[in-house]
Structure 1
Amino acid sequence: MAAAGIFAAGAVGGSVSLLMFGVDAAIVGFASTILLVRTVLGGMPGAERLAGARLILAIQFFALAALATVDSVYSFLSDRHSDPGILGICLIVVTGAALVAIGGSKIRIGVRLGSSRVHRQGADDMWTAGLAFAVAIACLVVAVGEVWVADQLGALLVAGLAVAQGFECGRGEGWGPWRVGRDPREEAA
């Protein structure tokens, strides 16, 4: 829901960084929903299906990185000025705050349960929250200081995170709820 709002605010104001953050959030949210539905309705998907899903997710992240980079460069070269607007800035700040709360809770739960997987998911949420706040700062710089290039720099930050997400998924590690890995503490239990 927040992804759609941020995407819409970016589209209305012509903000590349808001648009790309909205797309990134939609990709992660869609992947989380698919994993949840598959887990609840049909048990955990098999390793082969998870590997295929992670590959598709990696391709989506790389496509987002390419799109964000091309759109940022085009916006810069065409001297396109964005207006992220108060709604877009508020949405991205609220999203960042929610991600901090959710990520912090996951980290605490992961520590309490001794689960490195839950702990890493919380850490991923914190990274995404940091990105949300970086995009919010870029949007504020555009709105208040009229430094238009800040919007393109915010989108390039999104592209950088998308590349990292894509490599992790492509290596089979996943991202967020798709993350895999073994922890000796979990194997001993």
Structure 2
Amino acid sequence: MTVEGAVALAAGIVAGSIALVGFGLDSAIEGFASVIIIWRFTGHRIHSAAAEDRAQKLVAVQFFLLAPYVGVESVRALAGGRHADHTLAGILLAWGSIVAMPMLGIAKQRIAEQLGSAATKGEGRQNMLCAYLAGALLVGLLGNTWFGAWWLDPAVGLLIAALAVKEGREAWRGEGCCVAVPPGAGPAPDTCDHAGCA
């Protein structure tokens, strides 16, 4: 994710692509979320319901940090008619993410079930979101390259911002994150009463 984020940010800045920059920022957020999960399962926090809740909220907050920047820049690009340049590096990166991120997300969600961690499952959902965003990004970049559809780039940026808000709200509430209770963590939380558990 570090390489993905660095390449996306560099290629996005060079090409003037807000969607690619947003994708790079999303990758940075995913990397930070992974660090949070490592923190969550270190030392005395392994069986701590409070640490689980704190990690879940920290993962959610990161989605909210991404949305305003990408949303505002996308609106500015649409309003100003700002055209992104073509970027082969961005296209190849998006394609690679479409292939790799679902495998990583599925693996993390399986581990989350074994650990009984909604925070870990939410972090795995970030990887799945990354794959969906990579697909939208690829459509935007190819549309711009092949057909001159410059507006696809900021439109994909708006999609990234909207999905970030949605995922952030669900992660904050623990929706869609039904998992078993961690050993020693006490009674089961009521997060599994929500619809949309994956």
Could you say which TM-score interval applies, normalised by the shorter chain?
0.7 to 0.9
Partner of 2:29: 27
| Greater than 4 Å deviation, 4+ residue runs | 104-111, 115-124
Partners in 2 of 1:130 and 1:84 — Cα distance? Answer: 21
What are the Cα deviations for residues 142-175 of structure 1, in whole angstroms up to 9, with x where unaligned? 112111100011111111220112102322x18x
**Number of residue-to-residue matches in the alignment:** 181
Partner of 2:137: 135
Describe the shift of the 1:108–1:39 C-alpha distance in structure 2 as closer, same or farther (beyond 3 A): closer
Worse-superposed segment, 36-45 or 123-132? 36-45
The alignment-based identity, stated in percent, is 34
Partner in structure 1 of residue 158 of structure 2: 156
Larger RCO, structures 1/2 (Cα 8 Å, 6+ apart): 1
Counterpart position of 1:61: 63
Which has the larger displacement, 52-61 or 137-146?
A: 52-61
TM-score, normalised by the number of residues in structure 1: 0.77
1:33 partner letter: V
CA RMSD of superposed structures (Å):
3.4
Structure 1 residues 12, 153: CA separation in 2 closer, same or farther (over 3 Å shift)?
A: same
Structure 1: gaps of 5 or more residues: none
1:56-105, Cα deviation, whole Å (9 max, x unpaired): 44333223212111111101111111125101111121122111332355
Helix, strand or coil: the match of 1:44?
helix
The residue number in structure 2 matching 1:75 is: 77
CA 88–123 in structure 1, closer or farther in 2 if over 3 Å, else same? same
